[in-house]
Amino acid sequence: MIFERKMMGNDNLSIGALAKQVQCTVPTIRYYEEIGLLPHATRAANGRRYYGDADYKRLLFIKRCRDFGFPIEQVRNLVSLFENGDRACVEVRDLAQEHLNAVRTKIAEFRQLEVSLAAFVESCDAACCGGTAKDCTIIEDLSSTTSLSGTGCGGGASMGVPEDNPGFVSLKRG
């Protein structure tokens, strides 16, 4: 396995100790149990949860998947592949490729957002910076849903959001 084994042979870890070793929170562990990513822990007579080495490995794997931004459903699929090592590696690769494509799409969206925000700031610097908030062209543009006349931030920026744009405003100089 590729994991460091900090827990060797310890099958009596409390939920708090497990959380500390994996560097996550107790509520996160409970949530993963609730949604079925992590099996429910063995409980002692006093009702306390106890976890073993297999739980540690699985939780660490889940945490690493989440650290890389995999959505829960992809983590669920990756956990299945992790636990069933006889399945094809290409299944893992395809999930990683799907996630990589989504990350690249988000990066492109953030770059467009950066361009839009920079245009806001640049236009404000040129038009109204130093004035009052009620006269701020950024406030004016953010409250508008139509194209502006060229006097506001962005110098005629189109503030309509196209259907294929997931929530980011595209500013176009007129």
Sequence-distant contacts of 149-154: CB under 8 A, at least 24 apart: 150/174, 151/127, 152/123, 152/127, 153/119, 153/120, 153/123, 153/124, 153/127, 154/119, 154/120, 154/123
99 pLDDT above the threshold of 80: yes
Q: How far is residue 147's CA from residue 155's CA, in Å, rounded to a whole number?
A: 10
Q: 49-50 and 42-43: which strand pairing?
A: antiparallel
What are the phi and psi torsion angles at 70 (to 5°)?
-65, 135
- Tens of pLDDT along 150-162? 444 444 333 334 4
Residue extents of the structural domains in the chain:
15-87, 114-174
CATH code for 15-87?
A: 1.10.1660.10
> Tokens standing for 24?
């996550």
Q: Are 107 and 100 in contact (CB under 8 A)?
A: no
> Tokens standing for 81?
């592949």
| The predicted structure's pLDDT at residue 146 | 64
Q: How far is residue 30's CA from residue 34's CA, in Å, rounded to a whole number?
A: 6
Looking at residues 86-110, what average pLDDT do you find?
96
Q: How far is residue 102's CA from residue 95's CA, in Å, rounded to a whole number?
A: 11
| The predicted structure's pLDDT at residue 85 | 86
Looking at residues 9-34, what average pLDDT do you find?
92
What DSSP letter does each residue of 78-122 carry, written as one string? HHHHHH-TTS-HHHHHHHHHHHHHHHHHHHHHHHHHHHHHHHHHH
- Entry field: residues in the chain: 174
- Tens of pLDDT along 22-77? 999 999 999 999 999 999 998 889 988 899 999 999 999 999 999 999 999 999 99
17 pLDDT above the threshold of 70: yes
Sequence-distant contacts of 124-132: CB under 8 A, at least 24 apart: 124/153, 127/151, 127/152, 127/153
| The predicted structure's pLDDT at residue 160 | 39
Predicted TM-score of the model (pTM): 0.70
**Which amino acid is residue 80, in one-letter code?**
S
